[in-house]
Structure 1
Amino acid sequence: METQIKGPGLFLAQFAGADAPFNSLSEIVGWAAGLGYKGVQIPTFDARLFDLDTAANSQTYCDDVKGICHDAGVEITELSTHLQGQLVAVNPVYDEAFDAFAPAHLHGKPAARKDWAIDQMMKAAIASERLGLSHTVSFTGSLAFPFLYPWPQRPAGLVEEAFAELGRRWTPILNHYKDHGQDIGFEIHPGEDVFDGATFEMFVDACGGHEAAMMSSPT
């Protein structure tokens, strides 16, 4: 049976830190390669490893990033926009907690934070295209998840309206990704409105049947 599996991959965000070799792209991919990893998923929300704003505007920068990874002996599997995707849709009960995912000047400004997150998502599609990739990974965000437990009873139509709003926010993003030859794999994760197969299908329906994928994390 034919397979596309090339070897183990690593999500760099889970290891990035203030100290070497975890505080620069060249050092962390060298460290990963030394452990036998063949692929790296690069977070777009940690400028120590990857500057998304620069990548969206500079082919030279993206070529340099590819060169760093190639020289280390690893391939870029995807760009990750988990934190920005989360901020596309935040229930107000989570505002204070999720402010930590945004720049300080956006704290306490949920509307501006959402606009920033959407802009970041759009830039990631362009950066991924510049890197010669076709897949990215993200979260959908959480509008309905605080109402997962069925008591007190949810108002009729609340979940449906939450998914309709997800569709309104994500459809333009998905259109932009398609225009740039990209797709998004949404990680199925507790706390997200898309946390299993059924909610993924609800999300796709809310986006008009748009092409999207599920990402499953073994962690």
Structure 2
Amino acid sequence: MCQKAKDFGYDGVELCCWGDHIEVEKADQAYCDERKALLKKYDLQLFAISNHLVGQCVCDNIDERHKNILPPHVWGDGDPEGVRQRAAQEMIQTGKVAKQLGLDTVVGFTGSSIWHLLYAFPPLPQTMIDKGFEDFAKRWKPILDEYQKMGVKFALEVHPTEIAFDIESARRALEALDYHPAFGFNYDPSHLGYQHVDYVRFIYEFADRIFHVHMKDVHWSDVPTTVGVFGGHVPFGDHRRYWDFRSIGRGKIDFENIIRALNTIKYNGPLSVEWEDSGMDREAGAAESCEFVRYSDFAPSDIAFDDAMQKE
């Protein structure tokens, strides 16, 4: 994988905590040092680690789907509350692993006990939504407190199925946590664009809370389709879908204005390519995405244009 990443043209990687890239339960200091040495061998940097799958289970309504995404020691006997508690402990351990790797950011999901209430029928009282945000705060504040002690931040990827999936729910998540300093966002425009959320405004709204950036593209149809924004229970890549992820530069996301906005807020973190295009060879997509991001990114000016015409 390291050789491929280097050949594709990348400066480094963001490693996930599933499979065998980073195994949280095995990751003592020696393990972490070995990973860093391997990356150094290929002249690659490590920018962040991600633990979306375990993070999802901290707040979710646990069922058989979660067994397939969790390591056995977190799933245990499958008792929902036990799974949530073990997932919380695993997320704290993930923060410790990040620290051992010399990182200050963990990227992931939070899960949500109220996502299934997205479409409010039968009608639901607002108190049910209130309780969902209260549950989120109760379960994540202890994790975030530990992160703060370690000097590590958690970057939630704002995303459907999470407690925050648009601008307003992201704002409410921050409020629920009393603006905890260890909590912020992994900015990924693809999850906002097809919802018709103003994804450039998101950057300005949460300028001090964008801890990480995923560069990912998405396409949505300009004409009515047989499958709407909710996905129609058809798989990604199906031609009937209203929206689908695309290789970077082949969808509708306006990366020009995203880079300008990130420069304006003085974001200087990584631009991490997340690639999900069901209709394209992934190695070709990885290479062209790296080239696209390098072309799209540029340093901000340190002088206003008009200033160049001013006399001393």
Shorter-chain TM-score tier? 0.7 to 0.9
2:26 maps to a residue whose letter is T
The equivalent of 1:181 in structure 2 is 151
Partner SS for 1:185: strand
Cα separation, 1, equivalents of 2:102 and 2:8: 25
The equivalent of 2:97 in structure 1 is 127
2:184 maps to a residue whose letter is A
Partner SS for 2:161: coil
Which of 41, 44, 52 matches 2:24?
52
Deviations 1:117-143 (A, max 9, x none): 111101111111111111110111021
Cα separation, 2, equivalents of 1:52 and 1:200: 28
Conservation of the 8 A alpha-carbon contact between 1:204 and 1:210: yes
User: Runs of 4 or more off by more than 4 Å in structure 1?
Assistant: none
1:101 equivalent in alignment to 2:72: no
The equivalent of 2:185 in structure 1 is 214
Deviations 1:136-170 (A, max 9, x none): 10111021110011221113300011000100000
Task: Report how far residue 107 of structure 1 moved.
Answer: 5.5
Cα separation, 2, equivalents of 1:45 and 1:87: 14
User: Whose helix proportion is higher, 1 or 2?
Assistant: 1
Mapping for residues 1-219 of structure 1, pairs under 5 Å:
28-46=1-19, 48-55=20-27, 58-92=28-62, 95-104=63-72, 106=76, 108-211=78-181, 212-217=183-188, 218-219=216-217
Task: Report how far residue 214 of structure 1 moved.
Answer: 1.2
Conservation of the 8 A alpha-carbon contact between 1:102 and 1:113: no
Conservation of the 8 A alpha-carbon contact between 1:85 and 1:138: yes
Conservation of the 8 A alpha-carbon contact between 2:76 and 2:83: yes
Cα separation, 1, equivalents of 2:52 and 2:166: 17
Task: Report how far residue 64 of structure 1 moved.
Answer: 1.1
Cα separation, 2, equivalents of 1:96 and 1:154: 26
Conservation of the 8 A alpha-carbon contact between 1:40 and 1:74: yes
Partner SS for 1:157: helix
1:31 maps to a residue whose letter is K
Conservation of the 8 A alpha-carbon contact between 2:61 and 2:80: no
Conservation of the 8 A alpha-carbon contact between 1:99 and 1:107: no
Q: Per chain length, whose mean CA-contact separation is higher, i.e. which structure has more relative contact order (CA < 8 Å, sep 6+)?
A: 1
The equivalent of 1:25 in structure 2 is none
1:75 maps to a residue whose letter is Q
Conservation of the 8 A alpha-carbon contact between 1:99 and 1:106: no
1:39 maps to a residue whose letter is G
Task: Report how far residue 106 of structure 1 moved.
Answer: 2.7
Q: Percent identity?
A: 28
Deviations 1:8-66 (A, max 9, x none): xxxxxxxxxxxxxxxxxxxx1221111111121111122x22221222xx222211111
